[in-house]
Amino acid sequence: MVSCGQFRPEKQHAQQLEIWKAALPKLPPGSLFYMIGGTRGEADVQLLNDLKKMAVDMNLKDSVRFVVNQPRDVLI
């Protein structure tokens, strides 16, 4: 699964992690969730760090990948 958008509070990334945790047992082994986006400033960076910690606390570390501030050609 992929979520693509800036790391901003209104994007509800924390809720996306909760949905991923609920869905993961029903998905094939090895399924991954890529959270792709950019950060514009310190508040966005703090949100991203909080999301990374949340993923660890929810035991999702092995199934969630954060792809941050990458150019479009790298993402494609």
Whole-model pTM over 0.85 = yes
Q: Which structural domain, as residue segments, surrounds residue 45?
A: 2-75
Encode pLDDT of 17-44 as tens digits.
999 999 999 999 999 999 999 999 999 9
Alpha-carbon distance 64 to 31, whole Å? 9
Secondary structure class of 55 (helix, strand, coil): helix
pLDDT band at 75 (very low <50, low <70, confident <90, very high): confident
CB distance 35 to 52 below 8 Å: no
The residue with tokens 């958008």 is 5
CB distance 32 to 63 below 8 Å: yes
Task: Count structural domains, the chain.
Answer: 1
